Chains A and B, each alone.
Chain A
């Protein structure tokens, strides 16, 4: 006999049958025999328009009572075909596409893309540029984790941490704006350098932020880390072992919460990360609470990194002195025929990358962010591929929630720290 599944909207009451009894509440007589309940599974649809899905994620859940029997995620509602669009733009024009993917940590994506292309072209950026990019990436790691922290707190039922963390995020928005002119879509990098050098006083602003955010984290931790409701809803929920986490492709804080010490900054260092003094927090149980603790500690470590990077910020040019990739200065342009030609070629044709390819992985805020670029020698990419950390992290959600309770789905989803702009691309 085929099993029939009943689909119900959350808000709809069940149809009343002929022998329908009102809900058995506290006052219901207890000596009545238990009514024979249908053992049909229920199908519940969450999203794509639902605040707890953190975007346009759609989860289809099959429930047996309150237990999740199966979870089928559906994505693609935000698909913008960035990779295809990139093949129709020259190398520098791709940069604005990168920050629109993960709008929670745009600078990391800007930097990762520029690093991949530079690696493919064999360009070594200046020392100052390396440090500025490290500052940008660590700043946005905190920026992204703060949003995760706020929404996480909302999902667990706490509102105050959301306000605290968004107050801190506002400062990063201001720093973005002071540097790049945009608050979210920063587009800060260029092949061979940055769009501009950092403005005067910006480094002090970053330092103030790094000092302030640690205090805010203390306050938020005071509210959450030992809070009974928070512990009850997150400890032992959504457990995944380290071996499984690796096999399922987890990366970033999610993987480290399961006890696997894999961090691209340590394992495949770039931009002298091996010379910075910072620690990689590792979880023990692989549950939602460990993912929370790992991210909290990562923010503190990023604040440490910000101070170290600011301390070593060297003087000098921010862009490479290479006329193939960087526009000449306006003074040269007006006085020197060579520069005029370079300027014309760069503006009209774009940067030309020699044939080749490169896969550059950086530690993004969500996990291993890989940029894979392929060139055939022209001024446009043959292929530009993003190894999307959230995409792979989200693909694990059926394993995490199946067998658990419906209410835990929300916490598990929040603990994965996904951003749908990058999942759907």
Chain B
């Protein structure tokens, strides 16, 4: 059934329905989007569900343990070719419900949009990174880690991105995170003032070869990173005392 639909150059979302949310639902939901039955046929038990929302948006729920191979297949299979990863984000519904990692895919050759979701329980927030497939996932996954605390395995640069490196209040977009943060305003001010921006990205962190030598994020979870011990003790021109004499 999917062949008859995918034969045309334009996908099933005809332009006219692009903004009509209240379109009547077809009898066989999955037949409308060729990728959905194909995914079921290929990955069977790793496809946990399918949903049609807002008229023409298809969501496929996948097994978080197999997200990489499913996305790789979607990207490389000539019938699907989701070469463009628009977005990676997450949704926390709160109340202890599983957190959803959301991939927005778009196939430019077939003009099809597909949303892949993987549900992670709050005590196992870990999923395979898709940076090897799409470089665009690099910063997007860093943001999901920063905002939701989802660990991406094999991410090449697993650092916070919007919040400062030493931010210790948690992951702001989680529902259990209070709007004003976990610390009191006084504590936040104290920490902000006691921070020396020169503590981060010092030459010793960047000097050793091509790859940045970064402190793994797990170390941030426990306590404040000690200022003096993370960088090697060899005096560099960055050393404050050296800097003062240099300016004189």
Q: Hey, which bits of chain A sit against chain B, CB under 8 A?
A: 2-8, 12, 15, 41, 43, 60, 62, 70, 72, 74-76, 79, 81, 83-85, 88, 115, 118-125, 244, 246-249, 251, 260, 262, 267-271, 274, 356-359, 361, 368, 370, 372, 374, 376, 382-383, 385, 387, 391-392, 394-396, 399, 424-425
B41 at the binding interface (Cβ < 8 Å): no
B183 at the binding interface (Cβ < 8 Å): no
Complex Cα distance A383/B236, Å? 46
Report, nearest first, the 6 A-B pairs whose CB atoms are least far apart.
Answer: A249-B136, A122-B21, A122-B22, A358-B54, A395-B139, A5-B203
Q: List 7 A-B contacts (CB under 8 A).
A: A2-B208, A3-B209, A75-B162, A118-B21, A358-B54, A387-B104, A399-B135
CB-CB < 8 A to B87: which residues of A? Answer: 359, 370, 372, 385, 387
Complex Cα distance A332/B247, Å? 73
Complex Cα distance A274/B115, Å? 24
Complex Cα distance A110/B98, Å? 31
Complex Cα distance A97/B177, Å? 20
CB-CB < 8 A to A6: which residues of B? Answer: 203, 237
| A62 close to B162 (CB less than 8 A) | no
Q: Hey, which bits of chain B sit against chain A, CB under 8 A?
A: 13, 15, 18-22, 53-55, 57, 83-87, 89, 91-94, 102, 104, 106, 108, 111, 113, 115, 134-140, 143, 147, 160-164, 172-173, 177, 179, 201, 203-204, 206-210, 212, 232, 234, 236-238, 246-247
Which of B15, B83, B140, B206 is A269 in contact with, Cβ under 8 Å? B15
Q: Of all chain B residues, which has the CB nearest A373?
A: B54
| A391 close to B22 (CB less than 8 A) | no
Query: A4-B236, A387-B104 given as contacts; is B162 within 8 A of A424 (CB)?
Result: yes
| A88 close to B104 (CB less than 8 A) | no
CB-CB < 8 A to B135: which residues of A? Answer: 244, 247-249, 395-396, 399
| B21 close to A392 (CB less than 8 A) | no
| B206 close to A43 (CB less than 8 A) | yes
| B161 close to A76 (CB less than 8 A) | yes
Q: Of all chain B residues, which has the CB nearest A248?
A: B135
Q: Of all chain A residues, which has the CB nearest B248?
A: A15
B94 to chain A, nearest CB (A): 8
| A387 close to B238 (CB less than 8 A) | no
| A270 close to B108 (CB less than 8 A) | no
Complex Cα distance A261/B40, Å? 31
CB-CB < 8 A to B209: which residues of A? Answer: 3
| B93 close to A5 (CB less than 8 A) | no
CB-CB < 8 A to A387: which residues of B? Answer: 86-87, 89, 104
B176 to chain A, nearest CB (A): 12
Complex Cα distance A399/B161, Å? 18
CB-CB < 8 A to A248: which residues of B? Answer: 134-136
Which of B18, B115, B140, B203 is A43 in contact with, Cβ under 8 Å? B203
| A359 close to B21 (CB less than 8 A) | no
Which of A3, A8, A84 is B179 in contact with, Cβ under 8 Å? A84
Q: Of all chain A residues, which has the CB nearest B83?
A: A246
Complex Cα distance A420/B5, Å? 42
| A76 close to B163 (CB less than 8 A) | yes
Q: Of all chain B residues, which has the CB nearest A58?
A: B201
CB-CB < 8 A to B55: which residues of A? Answer: 119, 122
B12 to chain A, nearest CB (A): 12
| B21 close to A120 (CB less than 8 A) | yes
CB-CB < 8 A to B232: which residues of A? Answer: 2
CB-CB < 8 A to B161: which residues of A? Answer: 75-76
Query: A72-B212, A81-B172, A382-B93 given as contacts; is B54 within 8 A of A119 (CB)?
Result: yes
| B203 close to A4 (CB less than 8 A) | yes
Complex Cα distance A246/B162, Å? 24
| A74 close to B22 (CB less than 8 A) | no
CB-CB < 8 A to A3: which residues of B? Answer: 207-209
Q: Of all chain B residues, which has the CB nearest A359?
A: B104
| B86 close to A370 (CB less than 8 A) | yes
CB-CB < 8 A to B162: which residues of A? Answer: 75-76, 79, 424-425
CB-CB < 8 A to B210: which residues of A? Answer: 70
Which of B19, B92, B201 is A119 in contact with, Cβ under 8 Å? B19
Complex Cα distance A270/B162, Å? 32
Which of B57, B139, B203, B208 is A358 in contact with, Cβ under 8 Å? B57
Query: A267-B111, A359-B57, A385-B87 given as contacts; is B21 within 8 A of A74 (CB)?
Result: no
Complex Cα distance A280/B82, Å? 22
Query: A3-B207, A249-B134 given as contacts; is B19 within 8 A of A274 (CB)?
Result: no
| B206 close to A262 (CB less than 8 A) | no
CB-CB < 8 A to B236: which residues of A? Answer: 4-5, 7
CB-CB < 8 A to B53: which residues of A? Answer: 120, 356-358
CB-CB < 8 A to A246: which residues of B? Answer: 83-84, 108
Complex Cα distance A5/B207, Å? 6
CB-CB < 8 A to B106: which residues of A? Answer: 268, 361
Which of B19, B94, B143 is A270 in contact with, Cβ under 8 Å? B19
A376 to chain B, nearest CB (A): 7
Q: Of all chain B residues, which has the CB nearest A74?
A: B201
CB-CB < 8 A to B139: which residues of A? Answer: 391-392, 394-395
Complex Cα distance A76/B83, Å? 28
| B104 close to A383 (CB less than 8 A) | no
CB-CB < 8 A to B54: which residues of A? Answer: 119-120, 122, 356-358
Query: A60-B201, A123-B21, A358-B53 given as contacts; is B91 within 8 A of A70 (CB)?
Result: no
CB-CB < 8 A to A251: which residues of B? Answer: 86
CB-CB < 8 A to B134: which residues of A? Answer: 247-249
| A268 close to B111 (CB less than 8 A) | yes
| B207 close to A358 (CB less than 8 A) | no
CB-CB < 8 A to A244: which residues of B? Answer: 135
Q: Of all chain B residues, which has the CB nearest A6?
A: B237
CB-CB < 8 A to B113: which residues of A? Answer: 268, 359, 361
